[in-house]
């Protein structure tokens, strides 16, 4: 950092300025102001060079108080130390000077040796503090940047892993992306509706990313079942259901204790086919035993399957899908989840139509 | 010259040792003595006393006090400090009583300075 090498002396009495000038002119450039207005002008013009301001409180035009006020408004009070010069040592005037942001107070008449030492100390202190603050700012920037990179590689990895599933299961390539979008919409509405479950923005994004992995266990399902165009036999269906378990087994290889993201991934893989009435699989959990994030993914997974064409079925309209979900045709969801689903209906509809438009355009081109 | 400056401080009731520690040498002290002649705070005080302007008088006295004390003019500094406090307390009648003493002390200092400057 470049060293600031200028002192500003603001005092209306020339003798006082001269005394300070004599003390410091050997080592510093000196600027002088004989009133508050001049001081403010010089501060504005030279704020990057001024290492210290000696400020008299009682001055014509604008007084020291107004000079400090100006410095506060312009952020200079934290970068330029002010040593207040005062004629009398009363507790009130001292307290007032410090309240205004003075770094130190010097009483007239000055003792040069003391003034020099104090000025040096304060200049050093500010220099040190400013460099620490800059260092801290730099470190914070680096931290934010590396956190962003980690988040990006998380997204990349979850997308890559889920793409493997899509590739094998011949499902529409956009299913995962839509589930993520719908999950995000639902979680925001959930948070707005039910204050008791205040997820942070960060947590919501972790859940959204985890939702991409909901079907990752399908990798372990044999082709003759996964890709079967017709109806599955009971036996085949039983195997298909195990994708929830297989997904968790895979994740367990990468288990990270106390890791929130891992927990969301695990819960979503395992419980996204559980139902409120305990009739889901694989564990038959009931009611609130099913984590909210898994509940949310379960409803948007069903919704997306309904409004899109699959090898085994045609697509339903958005209205039909909402009605079928409410009627329990795809399993029973919690009343709160359904309330949230209705609350999010407008946004889900807009997003669904946007996605369908994309598919249409894809066909045309 | 050493003797002259020290003598001046003795004549006007100043503290030469303090002055030297503050201004380092007689050359410098002489420079400040010249500045002291140019300082207008006494005139500000005198005019304000004449006009019964207590606030303006306080400002003049306050400045003169600072300057006198910086110069280590002990006697003048003390009497100016007294009138400064009286004016701060808005006791103008008291200040009127004190003012002639300020003038007397100030004149003496000015005369002595002028004498050695010649």
* pTM across the whole model: 0.56
pLDDT per residue as tens digits for the range A8-53: 999 988 888 988 898 898 889 999 999 999 999 999 999 889 999 9
Per-residue pLDDT at A341: 97
Which of the residues B15, B60, B61, B63 would you substitute to probe the A interface, choosing the one with the greatest number of A C-beta atoms within 10 Å?
Answer: B63
Copy the structure tokens of residue A274. Answer: 């559980």
Q: What is the mean pLDDT of residues B21-30?
A: 86
Cα distances (angstroms) measured from residue A80 to each of A5, A67, A101? 12, 12, 10
Copy the structure tokens of residue A356. Answer: 């369908």
Three-state secondary-structure class, residue A279: coil
Per-residue pLDDT at A174: 81
Q: What is B31-93 written as a DSSP string?
A: HHHHHHHH--HHHHHHHHHHTT-HHHHHHHHHHHHHHHHHTT-HHHHHHHHHHHHHHHTT-HH
* Statement: residue A261 has pLDDT above 60: yes
Three-state secondary-structure class, residue A216: helix
Mean per-residue pLDDT of chain B: 90
Chain B contacts of A64, Cβ < 8 Å?
none
How confident is residue A175, by pLDDT bands cut at 50, 70 and 90?
A: confident
Task: Compute the distance between CA of residue A181 and CA of residue A185 in angstroms, rounded to an integer.
Answer: 6
* Statement: residue A1 has pLDDT above 50: no
pLDDT above 70 as % of chain A: 95
pLDDT per residue as tens digits for the range A289-342: 999 999 999 999 999 999 988 767 788 999 999 999 999 999 999 999 999 999
> Cβ of B22 under 8 Å from any chain A Cβ?
yes
Q: ipTM score of the complex?
A: 0.77
Domains in chain A: ranges and CATH = 6-139 (3.40.50.2300), 170-364 (1.10.3210.10)
* Cα of B103 vs its chain's centroid, Å: 9
Per-residue pLDDT at A183: 97
Q: What are phi and psi of B82, to 5 degrees?
A: -60, -50
Residues, chain B: 118
> Cβ of B106 under 8 Å from any chain A Cβ?
no
Task: Compute the distance between CA of residue A280 and CA of residue A273 in angstroms, rounded to an integer.
Answer: 6
> Cβ of B80 under 8 Å from any chain A Cβ?
no
Which residues of A are designated catalytic? 218
Nearest Cα residue in chain B from A16:
B67
Whether A118 contacts A84, CB under 8 Å: no
| Residues on chain A bordering chain B, Cβ-to-Cβ distance under 8 angstroms | 12-16, 18-19, 22, 58, 87, 108-112
Token pair 């007239």 is at which residue? A108
Which of the residues B20, B59, B70 would you substitute to probe the A interface, choosing the one with the greatest number of A C-beta atoms within 10 Å?
Answer: B70
- Which of A12, A58, A110 faces B70 most closely, judged by CB atoms? A110
Per-residue pLDDT at A244: 96
Picking from A210, A201, A148, A142, the residue whose alpha carbon sits closest to that of residue A176 is A210
* Statement: residue A365 has pLDDT above 60: no
Would the CB atoms of B23 and A19 count as touching at under 8 Å?
Answer: yes
Per-residue pLDDT at A170: 62
* Statement: residue B109 has pLDDT above 90: yes
Whether A282 contacts A242, CB under 8 Å: yes
Token pair 């100043």 is at which residue? B14
Copy the structure tokens of residue A156. Answer: 């990349």
* Statement: residue A239 has pLDDT above 60: yes
Nearest Cα residue in chain B from A110:
B70
* Statement: residue A171 has pLDDT above 80: no
Whether the CA torsion A280, A286, A288, A290 is positive or negative: it is negative
Q: Residue A333 forms beta bridges with which residues?
A: none
Copy the structure tokens of residue B13. Answer: 């009731």
The CATH number of the domain holding residue B30 is 1.20.120
Mean per-residue pLDDT of chain A: 88
Give the domain extent around B93.
Answer: 2-117
Whether A214 contacts A269, CB under 8 Å: yes
Q: How many domains does chain B divide into?
A: 1
Per-residue pLDDT at A133: 87
For residues A86-121, b (16+ Cβ closer than 10 Å) or e, as one string?
bbbeeeeebeebeebbbbbbbbbbbebeebeebbee
How confident is residue B106, by pLDDT bands cut at 50, 70 and 90?
A: very high
Per-residue pLDDT at B3: 64
- Which of B59, B63, B70 faces A19 most closely, judged by CB atoms? B70
Q: What angle do CA A317, A322, A323 make, to 5 degrees?
A: 95
Whether A27 contacts A71, CB under 8 Å: no
Task: Compute the distance between CA of residue A75 and CA of residue A303 in angstroms, rounded to an integer.
Answer: 54
Would the CB atoms of A87 and B71 count as touching at under 8 Å?
Answer: no
Nearest Cα residue in chain B from A15:
B35
């Amino acid at each position: 950092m470049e060293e600031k090498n200028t002192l500003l002396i603001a005092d209306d009495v020339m003798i006082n300025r001269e005394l300070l000038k004599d003390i410091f002119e050997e080592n510093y450039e000196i600027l002088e102001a004989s009133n508050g207005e001049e001081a403010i002008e010089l501060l504005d013009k030279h704020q990057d060079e001024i290492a210290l301001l000696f400020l008299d409180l009682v001055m014509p035009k604008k007084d020291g108080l107004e000079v400090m006020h100006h410095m506060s408004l312009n952020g200079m009070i934290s970068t330029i130390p002010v040593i207040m010069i005062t004629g009398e040592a009363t507790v009130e005037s001292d307290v007032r000077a410090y309240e205004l942001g003075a770094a130190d107070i010097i009483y007239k008449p000055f003792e040069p040796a003391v003034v020099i030492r104090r000025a040096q100390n304060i200049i050093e202190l500010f220099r040190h503090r400013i460099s620490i603050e800059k260092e801290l700012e730099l470190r914070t920037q680096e931290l934010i940047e590396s956190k962003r990179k980690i988040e990006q590689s998380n997204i990349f990895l979850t997308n890559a892993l889920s793409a493997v599933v899509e590739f094998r299961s011949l499902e529409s390539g956009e299913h995962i992306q839509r589930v993520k979008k719908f999950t995000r919409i639902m979680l925001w509405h959930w948070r707005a509706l039910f204050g008791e479950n205040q997820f942070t923005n960060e947590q919501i994004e972790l859940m959204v990313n985890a939702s991409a992995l909901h079907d990752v266990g399908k990798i372990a399902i044999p082709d003759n079942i996964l890709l079967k165009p017709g109806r599955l036999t009971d036996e085949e269906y039983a195997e298909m259901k195990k994708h929830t378990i297989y997904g968790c087994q895979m994740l367990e290889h990468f288990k990270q204790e106390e890791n929130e993201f891992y927990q969301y991934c695990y819960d979503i893989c395992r419980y996204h086919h559980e139902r409120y009435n305990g009739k889901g699989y694989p564990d038959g959990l009931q009611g609130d035993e099913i984590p909210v994030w898994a509940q949310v993914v379960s409803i948007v997974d069903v919704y997306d399957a309904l409004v899109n064409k699959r090898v085994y079925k045609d697509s339903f309209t958005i209205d039909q899908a909402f009605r079928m979900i409410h009627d329990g045709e795809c399993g029973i969801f919690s009343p709160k989840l359904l309330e949230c689903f209705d609350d999010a209906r407008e946004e889900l509809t807009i997003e669904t139509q946007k996605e369908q438009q994309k598919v249409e355009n894809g066909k045309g081109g | 010259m050493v003797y002259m400056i020290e003598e001046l401080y003795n004549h006007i009731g100043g503290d030469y040792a303090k002055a030297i520690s503050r201004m380092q040498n007689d050359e410098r002290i002489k420079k400040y003595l010249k500045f002291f002649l140019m300082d207008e705070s006494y005139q500000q005080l005198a005019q304000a006393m004449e006009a019964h302007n207590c606030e303006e008088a306080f400002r003049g006295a306050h400045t003169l006090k600072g300057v006198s004390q910086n110069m280590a003019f002990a006697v003048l500094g003390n009497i100016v400090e007294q009138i400064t406090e009286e004016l701060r307390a808005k006791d103008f009648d008291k200040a009127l009583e004190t003012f002639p003493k300020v003038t007397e002390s100030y004149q003496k200092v000015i005369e002595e300075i002028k004498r050695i400057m010649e």
